[in-house]
Homo-oligomer: A and B are copies of this chain.
């Protein structure tokens, strides 16, 4: 039990309370507040790191990561459509969720590495921002074909102006401009409280996860299997990419986790407006009901142990 990070215990507390039908809930204004703080904090941290090194050095890595974001939904779609026999819109929408990333999962992996003092490339939030979107574009093309392209301007709005993306990339820019000294005075709120805020977030995520279980029961065995197996495949790809790019062990774990995670902030909103005929409860049930808890409880320690073994042999 002690192998679990204490913040994950808050997730479990939330899940147990939800299963027992407690009336516990974070007020929605507080859940929004907590989410905003996490997004800003992650962005700020990445931005500060960016201000320390030339962007040009990162360009190749960034391109490779975007390529991964385009590839993952293309891998997921045929599985969902041909094997899972889901409707085209549903398959495309779920593929988009799994091609994109979960900020909450990112926060947990960072907390996990932090409490084990494992270093990682601190500019990783750049990858989080970059991975938010490509999968959305792929998902829409999969659902609608290129004919959807006359909507691109409208779609770009939905993608870039959703509050999740604005806060994450806004934090990134502010951190970049202000630099390490500039953000220091706001550090007590955004950095010192980070783990406590994450604990509250995970408490609510536990409750939300449980509330998705109903949708899961209806969606059947295939989706549950997909929601466990696809992350493992994606993590392998992400880990391999991290290795190819020469990332540290910590950075490789983060990239594997990002690949394995499924979005539940930017993508659901964009898909709802762009592919409305996709049933949102399928993708949320899979992403929130299975993949999120799987990643934070089983996945991250697993990716860690695999990467550790490879890096050990590597050196």
User: Are A24's CB and B185's CB within 8 A?
Assistant: no
Given contacts A17-B170, A32-B30, A185-B114, contact A177 B10 (CB under 8 A): no
User: Are A182's CB and B27's CB within 8 A?
Assistant: no
User: Are B24's CB and A166's CB within 8 A?
Assistant: yes
Binding stretch for chain B, among A194-202, A232-240, A287-295: A194-202
Binding stretch for chain B, among A1-9, A52-60, A84-92, A124-132: A1-9
User: Are A182's CB and B6's CB within 8 A?
Assistant: yes
Quick one: which of B30, B179, B186 contacts A7, CB cutoff 8 A?
B186
Question: A137 → chain B, closest Cβ, in Å?
Answer: 19
Report B-chain residues with C-beta under 8 Å of the C-beta of A22. 161-163, 166
Within 8 A of B (CB), among A163-192: 163, 166-167, 170, 173-174, 177-179, 182-183, 185-190, 192
Pick 17 A–B contacts, CB within 8 A, sort by A. A2-B179, A6-B174, A6-B183, A17-B170, A20-B157, A21-B157, A24-B166, A25-B163, A27-B32, A27-B33, A29-B29, A186-B199, A188-B196, A189-B200, A190-B196, A192-B192, A193-B193
| Chain A interface (Cβ < 8 Å from any Cβ of B) | 1-2, 4, 6-7, 9-10, 13, 16-17, 20-30, 32-33, 36, 111, 114-115, 157, 160-163, 166-167, 170, 173-174, 177-179, 182-183, 185-190, 192-193, 195-197, 199-200
